[in-house]
Structure 1
Amino acid sequence: MSGIRQTQTKPMRLPAPSAVDALCANFPGLTPPPALAPRLEALLPCRALAADRVLFAQGQTPKAFYMVASGEIEARFAAQDGRMSVLEHVRAPRLFGLAAFVTERPARYEAVATTTSRVWIIGMPAYRVLMDDWPGFARALMREFAERFEGNLRLLEAARHLSAPERFAVALRQLTAERAAAADADGWQELRATQSELARLAHLSRQTVNQLLRAAQDAGQLRLRYGRIAIRP
């Protein structure tokens, strides 16, 4: 109709979660005292990282540990032969880097952004508040890192004692747990993963991983797309 000016409605942008919201999401059932939240927010700055940016290097002693706000961080270490081995891929809202920070010792691995990412920095002032003033936080933090340590031990055991197909299966399960989207109506879960990532995680060559992926696809266990894998547990 002439004379009537149509306007386009801009989609509403949801506010980004705060650091305290992310901590609560990482530790379900754990709620800080009301007066503690604003104190913590002031102590938890957020840092942006470009893809492939190293947050801290292997052998460096970090002055903080971290929580992923967005994107993904790869924890990996270099073996004596120069090959890189992946410990885990950390996504929001998980934490990482605690061991080197608490012990004040050089990190045994490096942390690298696999894509454009943001992390909250948890330095000593914030750490003291979390441990001393948030009831139940210390117990929850210990449980999380104990579970992840157990998972890393399983990967190391797989690298030393399991066959190539078994190591491949362990690595694929870990990536599925870390990255997979919700299952579709037919039960398929899709995740972003490359052959190089699977090879580093499983301590296998890319050629071996390629052969195992093709065999699994031929058996109907997964579907391959460029940079993505669909798997049905």
Structure 2
Amino acid sequence: MDDSVDTALDAVLAANFPGMHMAPAMQGRLRPLLRLQRLARGRTLFAQDQTCSAFYAVVTGEIEARLTGEDGHVSVLEHVQAPRLFGLAAFATGRPAGYEALARRPSRLLVIGPAAYTLLMDEQPGFARALLREFALRFDGNLRLLEAARHRSASQRFALALAQLTRERGLAADAGGWQAVAATQAELAALSHLSRQTVNQLLGEAVARGELRRGYGRLWVQAR
């Protein structure tokens, strides 16, 4: 049995299903059905409109989910970091993926195929409920971003994008109440559907208000 698969599974279960207890016997049955996949920086895991034979969890690295419109415009949907799940909708429905997934930096992924999915859905108590909750939370988040892109002001869209990145990547707040978030100006611009110039201006305003600190590839957000 691969110790690295064991470690990855433990981390994914703890992060995504914290209230779910998995008996050692079930873990023993599940682990041989899983595998790890390495992805070099810039490599595509699956393309937009491609059928997916598995879904995934990020073990290390980062995956960018993005879609390309008919006009060739690329929109970033999400930056998926360890140990989050992704790709489940296309896998579970059997429909072509609505977005492209590629590695933003060298990444390792836990691959969860049909046999593992069936075992979890049919025999692991609490798995289906936990997965439904995750779907609902992501759907709500996507609706909020869509609404923001169409109807909200630039500052509101910026705030929503910053809040999403903080939820996904934010570290525990320090003694002063500052929470470190690995995020760049370009990422905020893509998520909020704003220009980099506008995002730079909004970042400066947030810094002036004492709500934000800036660093190279990193922001510090005042925890609320």
Aligned equivalent of 1:95, options 78, 85, 99: 85
Q: TM-score when scaled to structure 2? A: 0.92
Percent of residue pairs identical: 61
Cα deviation for residue 65 of structure 1 reads: 0.6
SS of residue matched to 2:49: coil
Count, aligned residues: 220
- 2:162 pairs with 1:167: no
Cα deviation for residue 170 of structure 1 reads: 0.4
| AA in 1 matched with 2:44 | V
**Residue number in structure 2 paired with 1:36:** 26
Structure 2: tracts of 5 or more residues without a match:
none
Q: Whole-Å Cα distance in 1 between the matches of residues 221 and 14 of structure 2?
A: 30
Deviates more, 1:124-133 or 1:207-216: 207-216
Question: 1:114-138 CA distances to partner (integer Å, 9 max, x unpaired)?
Answer: 2221111111111111111111111
Structure 1: tracts of 5 or more residues without a match:
1-13
Q: TM-score when scaled to structure 1? A: 0.89
Q: Whole-Å Cα distance in 1 between the matches of residues 122 and 202 of structure 2?
A: 49
Question: 1:57-96 CA distances to partner (integer Å, 9 max, x unpaired)?
Answer: 1111111111111122221212333222222222222211
| AA in 1 matched with 2:201 | Q
Q: Whole-Å Cα distance in 2 between the matches of residues 15 and 30 of structure 1?
A: 19
Q: Runs of at least 4 residues of structure 1 off by over 4 A? A: none
Question: 1:131-160 CA distances to partner (integer Å, 9 max, x unpaired)?
Answer: 111111111111111111111111111101
Q: Of the two, which has the highest radius of gyration?
A: 1
Aligned equivalent of 1:154, options 144, 148, 167: 144
Aligned equivalent of 2:56, options 60, 66, 70: 66
Superposed CA RMSD in Å reads 1.8
Aligned equivalent of 2:122, options 132, 144, 169: 132
Contact (CA 8 Å) 1:24, 1:31: kept in 2 or not? no
Q: Whole-Å Cα distance in 1 between the matches of residues 201 and 10 of structure 2?
A: 44
SS of residue matched to 1:45: strand
Contact (CA 8 Å) 2:5, 2:34: kept in 1 or not? no
Contact (CA 8 Å) 1:75, 1:90: kept in 2 or not? yes
Greater percentage in helix:
2
Aligned equivalent of 2:212, options 199, 202, 222: 222
Cα deviation for residue 21 of structure 1 reads: 4.6
Cα deviation for residue 188 of structure 1 reads: 0.9
